[in-house]
Chain A
């Protein structure tokens, strides 16, 4: 079964600096990996995805890197803004379907 780990439960970054959020998974699949942002009492909001055939995907201030050999994902936010303060979840597919397994999340706090 797929396991997804986000080993940093929290991260504080100064406004304008880079935020790097990490995620490790166990099963390699030819599919998409996802990042979500979540505010309290709201549903997760899709942020960015990366296909397993790529090693980088960029969308504005957000870039996701995929290291397949290390089974590792990272999300870079640059420059970080106070509005980026939220919990970020990475998700990896289980068994090649849309059944995604989520990490435990990293709470990002961007300090003004």
Chain B
């Protein structure tokens, strides 16, 4: 079964609205989670590292005011796309590492479509 869960799987919103995507680790604690974005036929692009109890670390070129990340607990990180525009439409994926195995578990992904 899934060890990292994302919600919602699909979301359609109007331009200018904000959308929140949740990422939960189900059977382990994750002090760190990662948020990726994937465009069609492209690789996974790391957007930011979510750190429990501290500010997220954003990759170069990712607007921190646009993509708000909150790591509220050891099992939950949220990504909020603020004032969404059609160019923000993409597939957003979170992941969390389980330290004792070296594995990085991914959520199911969230497809965002901004009209």
Contact = CB atoms under 8 A, between A and B. Distances in A.
Interface of A: 31-32, 34, 36, 41-46, 49, 51, 89, 91, 98-105
Nearest to B93: A43
Given A43-B106, A45-B106, A89 B34 contact: no
A41 B44 contact: no
6 contacts: A34-B102, A34-B103, A41-B109, A42-B109, A99-B49, A104-B42
Interface in B76-115: 91, 93, 97, 99, 102-109, 111
B58 to A, nearest CB: 12
A44 B44 contact: yes
A46 B43 contact: no
Given A102-B43, A104-B43, A44 B34 contact: no
Given A41-B111, A42-B109, A44-B93, A49 B46 contact: no
B25 interface: no
Contact of A43 (B6, B32, B102): B6
A42 B110 CA distance: 8
A110 B90 CA distance: 28
Query: Interface SS of chain A: helix, strand, loop or mixed?
Result: strand
A79 to B, nearest CB: 25
A100 B91 CA distance: 18
Nearest to B57: A99
B104 A98 contact: yes
Contact of B43 (A32, A99, A103): A103
Interface string B21-46: 00000000000101010000011101
Contacts of A51: 102
B108 A43 contact: yes
A6 to B, nearest CB: 9
Contacts of B99: 98
Contacts of A91: 104
A68 B12 CA distance: 45
